[in-house]
């Protein structure tokens, strides 16, 4: 059974009417997976202890954000109004990405039905990201004796600026970001490997560039663990992405990442990442491709 990490709080924190964040997609995706009766086993995470955040984030930033004392201008940069539930949701989702690492190390693969907060920096958050779950999860993976190097493969359409900065001086965390060259964030600090692509990139061009880049990156860096941000905001109809990738392109991308990790016997913890549509139901089949690709690769006898 494929390990899936999910908590109902992912779709439950207060947002103003018409807010851009697709709050319901997490719950809609989980319901879809349940209805399809795919062979998955769901695990509910516990909130991450806030002291753990201080291993990568500034102490004052962590304390101010958790207690609701972060200046309004800094909350605006994050893009959410502060609430106790926002903090509880955030800590639970951070616990979720760490739990996804644990399950991936045990089973080879695991999927988190949220995560990918790659715009969270050392002492500030931005773009709907409070704390950087990808780096926290990488740190957690490195606490295992058999994991000496983690590669973060970030395929969200937006560049992983917070991740790049937080991993800048670390030889044990390799960052790869494939993104739109003209999109948020405007300032793009260097990842170990950046693969910027132009506005309008279609499935064919995307895969032609990304697949050899992934192969080379794995061969060069030989990571013991991959954390995969499978953002679907590369889709042609996404409201915050400017690519023209179709659903089949997303499926081929996810399949390629899982196949490569499977072939190299590298455990892979995947998070669903970004995906923005006013009609949030439309995101469900796109994110579901991640689950389907994992089932096809790791559970071929499931008949999926
Ligand atoms: Zn994104």
Q: How far is the centre of ligand 1, averaged over its atoms, from the C-alpha of 302 (Å)?
A: 31
Q: How far are the Cα atoms of 1, 101, 113, 162 from residue 43, in angstroms, in the given order?
A: 12, 12, 11, 27
Q: How far is the centre of ligand 1, averaged over its atoms, from the C-alpha of 69 (Å)?
A: 27
Q: How far is the centre of ligand 1, averaged over its atoms, from the C-alpha of 143 (Å)?
A: 28
Tokens 């060069």, residue?
220
Q: How far is the centre of ligand 1, averaged over its atoms, from the C-alpha of 274 (Å)?
A: 4
Residue among 227, 254, 233 at smallest CA distance from 183: 233
Q: Where are the domains of the chain?
A: 2-298
pLDDT band, very low/low/confident/very high, at 129 (cuts 50, 70, 90): very high
User: DSSP assignment of 226-255, as one string?
Assistant: EEEE---TTBTT-SS---BB-HHHHHHHHH
Q: Contact 138/152 with Cβ under 8 angstroms?
A: yes
Side-chain-side CA neighbours of 185 within 13 Å: the count stands at 24
Q: How far is the centre of ligand 1, averaged over its atoms, from the C-alpha of 216 (Å)?
A: 24
Q: How far is the centre of ligand 1, averaged over its atoms, from the C-alpha of 158 (Å)?
A: 4
Q: How far is the centre of ligand 1, averaged over its atoms, from the C-alpha of 183 (Å)?
A: 9
Q: How far is the centre of ligand 1, averaged over its atoms, from the C-alpha of 280 (Å)?
A: 15
Q: How far is the centre of ligand 1, averaged over its atoms, from the C-alpha of 116 (Å)?
A: 8
How far is residue 68's CA from residue 16's CA, in Å, rounded to a whole number? 17
Buried b (16+ CB within 10 A) or exposed e, 102-114: bbbbeebbbbbbb
Residue among 278, 274, 296, 288 at smallest CA distance from 128: 274
Peptide bond into 281 cis (omega under 30): no
Q: What is the pLDDT of residue 57?
A: 98
Distance from chain centroid for Cα 144? 21
Q: Is residue 210 pLDDT above 90, yes or no? A: yes
Q: How far is the centre of ligand 1, averaged over its atoms, from the C-alpha of 74 (Å)?
A: 20
How much is the mean pLDDT over the chain? 97
CATH for 2-298 (3.10.20.30, 3.40.50.300, 3.40.800.20, 1.10.3720.10):
3.40.800.20
Q: How far is the centre of ligand 1, averaged over its atoms, from the C-alpha of 81 (Å)?
A: 19
Q: What is the pLDDT of residue 303?
A: 83
Q: Is residue 8 pLDDT above 90, yes or no? A: yes
pTM of the model: 0.98
Residue among 198, 179, 202, 199 at smallest CA distance from 190: 179
Average pLDDT score over residue span 207-230: 98
Q: How far is the centre of ligand 1, averaged over its atoms, from the C-alpha of 65 (Å)?
A: 22
Average pLDDT score over residue span 105-115: 98
């Amino acid at each position: 059974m494929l390990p899936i990490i999910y908590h109902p709080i992912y779709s439950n924190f207060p947002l103003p009417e018409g807010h851009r964040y697709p709050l319901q997609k997490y719950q809609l995706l989980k319901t879809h997976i349940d209805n399809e009766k795919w062979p998955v086993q769901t695990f509910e995470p516990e909130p991450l202890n806030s002291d753990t955040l201080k291993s990568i984030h500034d102490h004052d930033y962590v304390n101010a954000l958790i207690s609701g004392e972060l200046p309004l201008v800094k909350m605006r940069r994050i893009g959410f109004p502060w609430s106790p539930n926002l903090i509880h949701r955030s800590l639970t989702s951070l616990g979720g990405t760490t739990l996804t690492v644990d399950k991936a190390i045990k089973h080879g693969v695991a999927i988190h039905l949220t995560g990918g907060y790659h715009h969270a920096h050392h002492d500030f958050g931005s773009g709907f990201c409070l704390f950087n779950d990808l780096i926290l999860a990488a740190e957690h993976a490195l606490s295992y004796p058999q994991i000496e190097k983690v590669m973060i493969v970030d395929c969200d359409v937006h560049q992983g600026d917070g991740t790049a900065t937080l991993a800048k001086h670390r030889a044990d965390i390799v960052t790869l970001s494939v993104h739109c060259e003209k999109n948020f964030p405007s300032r793009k600090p260097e990842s170990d490997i950046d693969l910027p692509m132009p506005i309008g990139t279609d499935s064919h061009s995307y895969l032609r560039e990304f697949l050899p880049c992934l192969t080379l990156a794995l061969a060069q860096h030989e990571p013991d663990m991959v954390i995969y941000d499978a953002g679907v905001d590369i889709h042609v109809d996404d409201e915050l992405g400017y690519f023209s990738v179709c659903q089949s392109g997303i499926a081929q991308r996810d399949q390629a990442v899982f196949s490569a990790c499977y072939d190299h016997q590298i455990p892979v913890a995947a998070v669903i990442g970004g995906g923005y549509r006013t009609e949030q139901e439309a995101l469900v089949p796109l994110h579901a491709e991640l689950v389907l690709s994992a089932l096809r690769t790791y559970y071929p006898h499931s008949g999926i």
